[in-house]
Amino acid sequence: MSIKALQKSDWVNLLIAIPAGIIAALVTVGFRLAITEINDLMFTDGSDITRAFVEYPRIVWPLITTCGGVLAGGILYWALRYEARNGKMPDYLDVIDQRLPGIPVVSTLLRALSSLASIASGGSIGREGAMVQLSALSGSLLGRFSRFSSLHQSDIIAMAAAGGLAAVYHAPFAGALFVAEIAFGVTAVQRLIPLFISASVAVLTVRSITPYAPLYLYSSAVFTPSPGAIVTVLVIGAVAGVLGPMFIAAIEKVRHIMQPLTHPVLRLGLGGLAVGLVAMISPLVLGNGFEVIELILNNRLLHTSLLLLLLLKILATALTVGSGAVGGLFTPSLLIGAAGGALVCSCLQALGFDPGPTGLYAAIGMSALLAATSRAPLMSIMMAFEMTLNSSLLFPLMLATAIAYVVASRFKVSGTYPVLSRHNARFIAKNDFEHGTVAALIIPCSKMYIDARLADVVSEGLKQRTRYVYIVDREERFLGVVATNMLASGIIDGSLAKESALADYIEQEFATLYQHASYEQAWAMFSNSPLERLPVLADAQSRRLLGVITKAALLSKAKDFL
């Protein structure tokens, strides 16, 4: 592609990012309004699901969550039947990562309705999953009907997804970083700029049509880097790094237990019943946890201990997600992190440390736990920062989040997003390619000694079907090659004697590699040569022939990250 074409593509990216962000914002606002309308029909005041349930007797709560689960399961079953006939619906992250043509409309809408039923009935699941998937669908439709041939549809989907997440959490920087880190696996400036534009436009659109305030404004308290505060940050990072994989493992455990229940209605209904029973212990586990986070940040009365809330929220979310409910894990992760951070702070206060206000460490725990579950540390830092707008938190957020990410990476538990496993595999393969040597790819090769007869050398070359036969002396020192076809033709037409010595026919100037050569050096040599294999020598001094490396083996080594 020419430079001019690339510049045109960049301009198109920037221009399409604006409508992508606006449409994504409208989609998230519409979905949020749908939740509000349904909850207003079910409750006198549906603005806070944890308080709304209190309107009914406690014994009724499991009935509400079970009915919601059954309805969600029925809609999901409808979606699965549709997908069985028309193909499985890919997640928007897979569409972006694998550059698939687009997102199916019917499947996405049905799954969004299933998610709506789970959320409105108090399921412990995040709203952002359906919101961002719907935003990505809007980007897919925008790309489908746009006439920009230079723009791939998956790029518009990425912009809309960034806009959707930014609109949900009022965090444009985090929304852009989310797609860059998780979907692209990179933070290249060329790809980030359209995401920033779409995310910023989405947040501005939400601000213009709805009352705006940072989700968890916490700018009054100031983090002071005292010894107690630093110890608390370090402990929160380590605890979150362990807690995150445990949270994901709990979801997988429930998923495994419910696997025999193949019908979504039965599975989600049972999940809803279990969540309702858990909610009877504490209604704070209902919903995604948005309202409870505010209580923790502002040190308000919870009527439930932090430890019990943390454990019950993990259980309720595992039951909801593990049963197959459609939704996200962002806000539940934030709540678990906030409870974990506040709990660590409270424990250290009891031991005589004075780290400061509990709310500060709840915010730090939010970022750390989100990084441990999503494996996207940059996004996690910026999301907590943008949601609280507390500038003093930036550096402790970075420290705790980095520790949590490193600790969580040590566990053999995948993160929230499977696409990250592919990115990590590519990174490892590319890193191995950049730092590995060809010694690992050496295979034995045919060779002939300098004192062999010409006829024997030709016979060996024809038998091995190689263009060249490698010639060595009795000390295995590489001397050069002889061309099999040329010698065979000479023997056949009588211009060469079968008993002739090899010395006069050896080509000494022949491309070779040393065993400590990098894969990139081998790649460069193969790129400039028609040869399918190259001889590998021990070193420049001994020139001992060790074997060969083939172009096919090198391509196989590189395919994992190309």
- List pLDDT tens digits, range 457-506: 778 878 878 888 888 898 999 998 888 877 777 777 766 766 777 777 88
Give the DSSP letter of residue 550.
E
Q: Do 165 and 32 sit in the same domain of this protein?
A: yes
Distance CA 162, CA 379 (A): 11
CATH of the domain at 8: 1.10.3080.10
Please give the pLDDT value at position 150: 59
Asked if 435 and 539 touch (Cβ cutoff 8 Å), the reply is no
- What average pLDDT does the segment 326-336 reach? 89
Q: Say what the pLDDT of residue 9 is.
A: 53
Q: How confident is the model at residue 209 (pLDDT cuts 50, 70, 90)?
A: confident
Instruction: Give the model confidence (pLDDT) of 532-559 as tens digits.
Output: 889 999 998 999 999 999 988 888 888 7
Instruction: State the Cα–Cα distance between residues 157 and 163, nearest whole angstrom.
Output: 10
Nearest CA among 364, 316, 317 for reference residue 338: 364
pLDDT value at residue 146: 67
Report yes or no on 431 lying in a domain. no
Q: What is the pLDDT at residue 97?
A: 74
pLDDT tens-digit profile of 296-318?
988 888 888 999 999 999 999 99
- The share of the chain scoring above pLDDT 90, in percent, equals 33
**Does 323 map to a domain?**
yes
166, 172 contact by CB (below 8 A): yes
pLDDT digits (tens, 9 = 90+) for 57-80: 999 999 999 999 999 999 999 999
Residues 468 and 403 in one domain: no
Q: What is the pLDDT of residue 147?
A: 61
User: Do the domain assignments include residue 252?
Assistant: yes
How confident is the model at residue 418, as a pLDDT? 65
Q: Report yes or no on 427 lying in a domain.
A: no
Write the CATH number for 543: 3.10.580.10
Quote the pLDDT of residue 6. Answer: 41
- Distance, in Å, from the CA atom of 454 to the CA atom of 253, rounded to the nearest integer, reads 69
User: How many H-runs (helices) and E-runs (strands) does the chain carry?
Assistant: 22, 6
User: What pLDDT sits at residue 13?
Assistant: 67
Is 217 in contact with 389 (CB distance < 8 Å)?
Answer: yes
In this predicted model, what pLDDT tens digit does every residue of 229-279 receive, in sequence order? 888 999 999 999 999 999 999 999 999 999 999 899 999 999 999 999 999
Tens of pLDDT, residues 140-196: 888 877 666 556 778 888 889 889 888 888 888 888 888 877 777 665 566 677 888
- Same structural domain for residues 450 and 407? no
Q: Determine, yes or no, domain membership for 238.
A: yes
Q: Which of 351, 384, 416 is the last residue of a domain?
A: 416
pLDDT at 148: 60
| 232 plus 204 within the same structural domain | no
CA gap 503, 506 in Å, rounded:
6
5, pLDDT greater than 70: no
Burial class (CB in 10 A: 0-12, 13-18, 19+), 302: middle
Instruction: Indicate whether 304 and 366 sit together in one domain.
Output: yes
Instruction: Give me 426's structure tokens.
Output: 């590519």
Mean pLDDT of the chain: 85
Q: Identify the domain boundary among 154, 181, 209.
A: 209
Question: Do residues 238 and 367 share a domain?
Answer: yes
Q: Is 87 left (phi over 0), alpha (psi -120 to 50) or beta?
A: left
How many domains are contained in the chain?
3
User: Is 422 inside any structural domain?
Assistant: no
- Domain end, chosen from 164, 180, 209, is at 209
pLDDT-derived band at 339 (thresholds 50, 70, 90) equals very high
Q: What is the distance of C-alpha 370 from the center of its chain?
A: 13
pLDDT value, residue 3: 39
* pLDDT digit string, tens, across residues 428-451: 777 777 778 889 899 998 888 888
Q: Are residues 291 and 394 in the same domain?
A: yes
Torsion of CA 142, 148, 152, 157, to 10 degrees: -20
Average pLDDT over residues 97-115: 87
Tell me if 269 is assigned to some domain: yes
Q: Does position 110 have pLDDT exceeding 90, yes or no?
A: yes
Instruction: Quickly list H helices, 282-353.
Output: 290-297, 306-322, 330-350
Is residue 125 domain-shared with residue 44, that is, in the same domain? yes
With 0-12 / 13-18 / 19 or more C-beta atoms within 10 angstroms meaning exposed / middle / buried, residue 528 is exposed
Task: Say if residue 69 is in the same domain as residue 136.
Answer: yes
Q: What confidence score (pLDDT) does residue 262 get?
A: 87
- My answer on whether 454 and 394 are in the same domain is no
Indicate whether 219 belongs to any domain. no
Domain with 403 in it: 227-416
Instruction: Give dist(CA 122, CA 276) in Å, integer.
Output: 8
Q: Count Cβ neighbours within 10 Å for each residue of 262-277 and write b for 16 or more, e otherwise.
A: eebbbbbbbbbbbbbe
